[in-house]
């Protein structure tokens, strides 16, 4: 009997040196790669195949906005295609930030080629906007809510109102974005923790804030609703709204994709929480590249005490099942449970 699964698509911060070669190493279908590459060739950009075939990881090249977006989208859609659908029934798809575009590709709203065109366009448009983005934890070491850190973040949002915004609610992390001055001031004011935070997200602009309005306007003008197809699977967006399969308002979906989620907070935690409550999947499958979303997923589940989870230790114990509850395709030992051959 098939096991039900919720598919989760990662955001843009997931392609780094450690992920270089991810697509090449997992040999996606040639036809799929051809669609990705064709979209890039039409735009006179370096193809995904070429980006993956360079001798070494080049930070200037591989983290460039439109290149990183192309690699992340290609890796995610290729991972989705590699799932053993004889073993899993995908009941819904969601994603974090840029992962919303990947989710649209997995659900059939966008073809592989059209989706590649969209992520490339949006990466270029948003990169041209101003602002910066950083991340700060709002949980303790055991992934329980930390009221002090939450209050400190809220204090900065209030202090820099209209210049600093909650960009992404990301499990146990607050991702804040705004003007460069407001981001710099907030990062200086927040107490350092875990030897990493507050962490500036290099190359990121003021994503999911009003600073993206010009990118949204241009995208709406060039991407009409006629370029979107009916979802073949339910989609859960960054508000926790469910777009039903075969019955969605495509004009509304286009507007959400190109305006609302571009310029307003992306609540990944709520998206995940609504998805597990509404569809009660037996597993969560996290697409690659990388496996960085795993902690935010677990923290989002802990927030609602899903399946009795109250801490990091609880989640670790849950993952020790014969088949882990959360299956990350970026982790070889967990990928084995997801794909037909275990080697795809």
Q: What is the mean pLDDT of residues 42-54?
A: 96
Output the pLDDT for position 341: 58
One domain, residues 23 and 145 = no
Q: What's the pLDDT band for 13 if we cut at 50, 70, 90?
A: confident
Q: Residue 168 sits in which domain range?
A: 132-204
> Side by side, which strands form the sheet with 242-243?
242-243, 235-236, 88-95, 3-9, 283-286, 326-328
The tokens describing 54, both together, are 């360079």
Give 327's strand partners.
285
Task: Provide the 3-class DSSP secondary structure of residue 6.
Answer: strand
Is 344 inside a domain boundary?
Answer: no
Q: Which residues are CB-neighbours of 234 under 8 A, at least 6 positions away?
A: 91, 92, 93, 107, 242, 243, 244, 245, 279
> Side by side, which strands form the sheet with 266-267?
199-200, 132-137, 173-178, 164-170, 266-267
The tokens describing 35, both together, are 């669609």
Output the pLDDT for position 317: 95
Residue 1's Cβ-count burial label (10 Å; 0-12, 13-18, 19+) is exposed
Output the pLDDT for position 344: 43
Is 25 inside a domain boundary?
Answer: yes
One domain, residues 160 and 233 = no
Is 52 inside a domain boundary?
Answer: yes
122: pLDDT strictly greater than 60: yes
Residue 105 in contact with residue 307, Cβ under 8 Å? no
Question: CA-CA distance, 55 to 111, in Å (whole number)?
Answer: 30
Domain total of the chain: 2
One domain, residues 143 and 236 = no
Output the pLDDT for position 49: 97
Question: CA-CA distance, 337 to 282, in Å (whole number)?
Answer: 13
pTM over 0.85: yes
Q: What's the pLDDT band for 27 if we cut at 50, 70, 90?
A: confident
Is 343 inside a domain boundary?
Answer: no
Is 37 inside a domain boundary?
Answer: yes
Is 342 inside a domain boundary?
Answer: no
pLDDT (tens digit, 9 = 90+) per residue, 128-163? 999 999 999 999 999 999 999 999 999 999 999 999
Where residue 197 sits, what CATH number does that domain have?
A: 3.30.70
Question: CA-CA distance, 49 to 46, in Å (whole number)?
Answer: 8
Other beta carbons within 10 Å of 138: 21
One domain, residues 303 and 330 = yes
One domain, residues 281 and 162 = no
One domain, residues 119 and 148 = no
Question: CA-CA distance, 25 to 23, in Å (whole number)?
Answer: 5
Question: CA-CA distance, 140 to 158, in Å (whole number)?
Answer: 23
Q: What is the mean pLDDT of residues 30-35?
A: 96
pLDDT (tens digit, 9 = 90+) per residue, 155-194? 999 999 999 999 999 999 999 999 999 999 999 999 999 9
> Which of 204, 220, 238 is the last residue before a domain boundary?
204
Kindly write down the DSSP assignment for every residue of 198-258, as one continuous string: SEE-TT--STTSGGGHHHHHHHHHH--GGG----SS-EE-TTS-EE-TT---HHHHHHIII
One domain, residues 157 and 302 = no
Residue among 136, 135, 162 nearest 149 (CA): 136
pLDDT (tens digit, 9 = 90+) per residue, 291-342? 889 999 999 999 999 999 999 999 999 999 888 999 999 999 999 999 975 4
One domain, residues 245 and 327 = yes
One domain, residues 317 and 174 = no
> Which of 179, 204, 229 is the last residue before a domain boundary?
204
Question: CA-CA distance, 222 to 257, in Å (whole number)?
Answer: 13
Is 341 inside a domain boundary?
Answer: no
8: pLDDT strictly greater than 80: yes
pLDDT (tens digit, 9 = 90+) per residue, 57-101? 999 999 999 999 999 999 999 999 999 999 999 999 999 999 999
Output the pLDDT for position 343: 42
> Which of 178, 204, 230 is the last residue before a domain boundary?
204
Q: Please tell me which residue, 265 or 59, carries the higher pLDDT value.
A: 265
Q: What is the mean pLDDT of residues 216-221?
A: 98
One domain, residues 117 and 265 = yes
Is 272 inside a domain boundary?
Answer: yes
To which H or E segment does residue 164 belong?
A: strand 164-170
Alpha-carbon distances, residue 228 vs 111, 127, 282, 336 (angstroms): 9, 23, 30, 33
One domain, residues 180 and 218 = no
One domain, residues 109 and 140 = no
Backbone angles phi, psi at 260, to 5 degrees: -60, -55
Please give the biggest Cα pair distance in the chain: 55
Where residue 289 sits, what CATH number does that domain have?
A: 3.40.366.10
């Amino acid at each position: 009997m098939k096991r039900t699964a919720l598919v989760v698509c990662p955001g843009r911060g997931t392609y780094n040196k450690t992920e270089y070669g991810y697509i090449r190493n997992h040999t996606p279908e040639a036809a799929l790669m051809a669609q990705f590459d064709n979209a890039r060739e039409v735009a006179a950009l370096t193809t995904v195949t070429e980006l993956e075939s360079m001798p070494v990881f080049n930070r200037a090249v591989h983290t460039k906005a439109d290149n990183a977006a192309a690699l992340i989208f290609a890796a995610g859609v290729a991972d989705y295609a590699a799932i053993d659908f004889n073993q899993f029934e995908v009941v819904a798809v969601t994603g974090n930030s840029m992962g919303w575009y990947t989710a649209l590709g997995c659900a059939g709203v966008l073809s592989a080629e059209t989706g590649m065109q969209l992520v490339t366009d949006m990466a270029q448009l948003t990169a041209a906007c101003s602002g910066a983005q950083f991340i700060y934890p709002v949980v303790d070491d055991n992934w329980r809510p930390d009221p002090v850190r939450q209050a400190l973040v809220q204090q900065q949002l209030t202090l820099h109102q209209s210049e600093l915004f909650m960009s992404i609610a990301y499990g146990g992390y607050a991702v804040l974005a705004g003007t460069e001055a407001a981001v710099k001031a907030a990062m200086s004011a927040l107490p350092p923790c875990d030897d990493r935070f507050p962490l500036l997200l290099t190359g990121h602009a003021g994503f999911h804030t009003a600073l993206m309005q010009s990118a949204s306007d241009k995208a709406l003008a060039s991407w009409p609703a006629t370029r979107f197809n009916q979802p073949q699977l339910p989609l859960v967006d960054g508000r926790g709204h469910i777009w039903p399969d075969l019955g969605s308002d495509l004009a509304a979906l286009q507007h959400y994709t190109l305006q609302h989620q571009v310029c307003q907070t992306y609540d990944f935690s709520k998206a995940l929480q609504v998805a597990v409550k509404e569809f009660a999947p037996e597993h969560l499958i996290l697409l690659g590249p990388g496996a960085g979303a795993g902690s935010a997923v677990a923290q989002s589940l802990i927030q609602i005490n899903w399946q009795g989870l109250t801490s990091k230790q609880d989640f670790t114990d849950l993952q020790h099942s014969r088949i882990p509850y959360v299956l990350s395709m970026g982790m070889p030992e967990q990928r084995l449970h997801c794909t037909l051959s275990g080697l795809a």
